[in-house]
Chains A and B, each alone.
Chain A
Amino acid sequence: MVMLLGSLQLGILYGMLALGIYITFRIMNVPDLTAEGSFTLGLALSAVLTIQGHPLLGLAAALPAGAAAGMVTGLLHTKLGIHPILSGILTMSGLYSVNLLAMGNSSNLSLINSTTIFKMASNLLPFLDKDIVKLLVALLFTAACTILLILFFKTHAGLCIRATGDNEAMVRASSIPVDQTKLSALALSNGIIALTGALIAQYQSFADINSGVGILVVGLASVIISEVLLNRRTLSGSLLAVLVGSIIYRFIIALATKYTFLPAYGLKLVSACIVALALALPALKKSLALRTARKEAQAYAAAETNL
């Protein structure tokens, strides 16, 4: 039960991260490595401000900070013509120093003695179990974020972003500045990812400078699990599916560690394998189909000659 609840909490919280990654990876068609830095940026800001007694400010600060990080990547890519993946890597590397600076040059911070938003909610709702409250807080943020995103992608600006990932030339030909749509998509994505980091810091009452390492793969795994397991036709459906994917991913991880299939440090390897396998699936299916077709054709030819 504890494991179930814990996975659910984490799944819902990291669902926001997966939404942010969905925007760049699926809608814009570029895997954005800024995520690894912006996640930690949100985490660091939130931790520092919580220690100083401002947990809400910590969350509020993460969003624009993450968006700014996304803009840096966007500017490197659109205005300075650097390859989008390399732009993300550059920002991510730079952010490592910025994050250390934010955390006062210490690689980890503890929030055990500070009031986090989760503790605040617990105090407000003393009749509820602490874990249930944590779940509710996570749900509140993720639900709000999802609803806003679903609405946003129905607006003109949202449609422009979707179209840019789909056919850039056409967007330009429709008199829409492509650079701006790319920038706003990256800002949006990284803002959400930083907010996730901010919530995670307060959720686990702990911030580590390396929290963001491999976070992109975690998000990708959630996105891909959702695509393999759930059938979705509309974008709104896909966004909801991504949340479910994130929860399923957390259950898989919890099961794997609980039954000690592998040590805790093996998680990143498992995540990477899940993503690699899922991404390879179309190619594997194709080569399998080709093999079957060839075999059938050969069998047919053999039968013909025997006649």
Chain B
Amino acid sequence: MLQLKQICKTFSPKTVNEHKALQQIDLTIHKGDFVTVVGSNGAGKSTLFNVICGNFFPDQGTILLDGKNITWMAEHKRASFIGRVFQDPMRGTAPNLTIEENLALAYSRSKRGPLHFALNKKDTAMFQESLAQYKMGLEDRMKTKVGLLSGGQRQVVTLLMCTLVPPKLLLLDEHTAALDPAASEKIMQITKEIVARHQLTTMMITHNLNAALQTGNRTIMMDSGKLILDISGKEREQLSLQDLLALYSSKSNKAFDNDRMLLT
């Protein structure tokens, strides 16, 4: 499915600020995997996502998706088969467009010609039905501008936009971190539903170690631009939060530096 081979990325090379964000990353993700990605701040998690999405290109290495080399493919082209939800609810939606217009924009991904009407009854009904499943009352507010919605509601719209046409790969970049605990839980639950329904191959960055162990079927841990842990199956099921922290300390020779991870 997704294969990363020897991916390296260095920011500001040959200066005092040189930062090796990714060092020789080798990672293979199988179809239908739901991988949670953990690691302290600056470990390279988001850089990894940026390289996969094409925000910037790696200095070295290859990215294969379904056997096709996408290392140098333009960002907007990859976006037709890679969906991404960000931490910031403002990033995934256009605030001055209505809910239905936002969804239509994502749905019509060059499906029809550019001069066809963006909205039609059939699609709108389908959007409404899809939104209704999540019981947030959004289905009755199709003509509301997205800028008027709460963060949680916007994330639901973003999630739906990314998955209306099921992508080959879904990347979730701490997509619940900016929400209050109740909304965060709700979005997590919706995420699991969506992933299960379309059997999406998913990678999710989280700072919540409990969520990381309870969600999905595989967990990888990053530190200083390296993959330091990759667990799945039985081994992962038996792992407790304390074990994970202990593993982190032993692998990286330092204690986990982020209180947020321990407290949530």
Contact = CB atoms under 8 A, between A and B. Distances in A.
A50 B128 CA distance: 54
Interface string A125-162: 00000000000000000000000000010111111101
Interface in A159-198: 159-160, 162-163, 166-167, 169-178
Nearest to A154: B117
A177 B118 contact: no
A38 to B, nearest CB: 23
Interface string A191-217: 000000000000000000000000000
Nearest to B90: A167
A16 B234 CA distance: 68
Contacts of A177: 74, 76
Nearest to A181: B114
A156 B108 contact: yes
B110 A175 contact: yes
B92 A175 contact: no
Contacts of B104: 156, 159
A172 B75 contact: yes
Given A159-B97, A160-B105, A166-B95, A174 B79 contact: yes
Query: How many residues of A sit at the interface, in one of the four size bands?
Result: 20 to 34
A162 B92 contact: no
Nearest to A162: B97
Chain A interface, DSSP helix/strand/loop, else mixed: helix
A167 B118 contact: no
A173 B79 contact: yes
A158 B118 CA distance: 8
A175 B91 contact: no
A175 B114 contact: no
B77 interface: yes
Given A163-B94, A170-B94, A175-B109, A154 B76 contact: no
B112 A156 contact: yes
A122 to B, nearest CB: 36
Contacts of B92: 170, 173
Interface in B143-178: 161
B214 to A, nearest CB: 28
Interface string B59-83: 0000000000000001111111001
Interface of B: 74-80, 83-84, 90-97, 101-102, 104-106, 108-110, 112-119, 161
A274 B97 CA distance: 29
Nearest to B84: A173
Q: Which 10 A-B pairs have the closest CB atoms?
A: A157-B114, A166-B94, A175-B79, A175-B80, A159-B118, A167-B94, A163-B94, A156-B118, A166-B96, A174-B106
Contacts, number: 80
B75 to A, nearest CB: 6
A170 B93 contact: yes
A154 B100 CA distance: 12
Contacts of A172: 75-76, 79
A152 B112 CA distance: 15
B115 A157 contact: yes
A144 to B, nearest CB: 17
Contact of A155 (B76, B91, B114): B114
A170 B106 CA distance: 9
A117 B115 CA distance: 31
Contacts of A158: 118
15 contacts: A152-B115, A154-B117, A154-B118, A155-B116, A156-B113, A159-B97, A162-B97, A163-B97, A163-B101, A163-B102, A167-B93, A170-B93, A172-B76, A175-B79, A178-B76
Given A156-B115, A162-B94, 17 more contacts: A154-B118, A156-B114, A156-B116, A160-B105, A160-B114, A162-B97, A162-B101, A163-B101, A163-B102, A163-B105, A167-B91, A167-B93, A167-B95, A174-B105, A175-B78, A175-B80, A176-B109
Contacts of A156: 104-105, 108, 112-118
A154 B102 CA distance: 13
B105 A155 contact: no
Nearest to B147: A166
B108 A175 contact: no
A163 to B, nearest CB: 4
A170 B147 CA distance: 14
Contacts of A152: 115
A176 B118 CA distance: 14
A176 B112 CA distance: 13
